[in-house]
Chain A
Amino acid sequence: EPEVTQTPSHQVTQMGQEVILRCVPISNHLYFYWYRQILGQKVEFLVSFYNNEISEKSEIFDDQFSVERPDGSNFTLKIRSTKLEDSAMYFCASSTQGTMSNQPQHFGDGTRLSIL
């Protein structure tokens, strides 16, 4: 069964450094998402991406964050200058296009980001 893949599985970075989290969505999916989950808390939406542009973003997704689809397969999340509070599990998700509101989102295994 096709799946969303994320790399790396764990990233340790010094505060203030830039990080890039990578995702390969399911090949025929057109909608891409980033979510994060701080330890012990709920899954929170960051940004959605469709047709090579951001379609929606949350208030968490400030100027330190950016997303890109540099080629036909990868979808990346960049955090320009990391803060301690960016430590979390970051999940990429993708879904097919459809007008039905029950199009499920399929999640990758996540990247655990630890900021020191």
Chain B
Amino acid sequence: QKEVEQNSGPLSVPEGAIASLNCTYSDRVSQSFFWYRQYSGKSPELIMSIYSNGDKEDGRFTAQLNKASQYVSLLIRDSQPSDSATYLCAGRNSGNTPLVFGKGTRLSVIA
């Protein structure tokens, strides 16, 4: 199993809908997880981090972590066309160790 896996998409949702982005991971990167948003040609921009089982909400974003299933997701409520970007899931094992990124899921929000 690759360390961090994501469906590359594209995932298309209508404006105002909930976008659900998913990520699975291996044991090597199992401590904490980060969702980054990357617009084309730009740098990754941190959206949320999560390291405890359950949900974590920040505005329109909710991150969900299920360590038993090795699964982490990001929900975007009330999706806007400006949310159209590639969403990168990254994990790591501890402290300040390097991030391991998935390939990213391209999200397209249709107005």
Tally of chain A residues near chain B (CB < 8 A) = 29
Which residues A1-53 have CB closer than 8 A to chain B? 31, 33, 35, 41-45, 48, 50
Interface segment out of the listed A67-75, A79-87, A95-103: A95-103
Q: Which residue of B lies closest to A42 (CB)?
A: B103
Q: Are A101 and B51 in contact (CB under 8 A)?
A: yes
Distance in Å from the Cβ of A106 to the closest Cβ of chain B?
7
CA distance A41 to B101 in the complex (A): 10
B85 within 8 Å of A (CB atoms): no
Q: Are A110 and B43 in contact (CB under 8 A)?
A: yes
Which of B45, B94, B97, B104 makes the CB contact (< 8 A) with A42? B104
CA distance A59 to B45 in the complex (A): 26
Q: Which residue of A lies closest to B48 (CB)?
A: A104
Known contacts A43-B44, A105-B99; 12 additional CB pairs below 8 A are A33-B98, A42-B103, A43-B90, A44-B101, A45-B98, A56-B98, A58-B98, A91-B43, A95-B96, A98-B95, A99-B95, A107-B46
B→A interface (CB under 8 Å): 31-32, 34, 36, 42-46, 49-51, 88, 90, 92-104
28 pairs from A and B in contact (CB 8 Å cutoff):
A31-B96, A33-B99, A35-B99, A42-B101, A43-B44, A45-B98, A45-B99, A48-B96, A48-B97, A50-B96, A55-B96, A56-B98, A58-B98, A91-B44, A98-B95, A98-B96, A100-B51, A101-B92, A101-B95, A102-B51, A103-B95, A104-B34, A104-B46, A104-B49, A106-B46, A107-B45, A109-B43, A110-B42
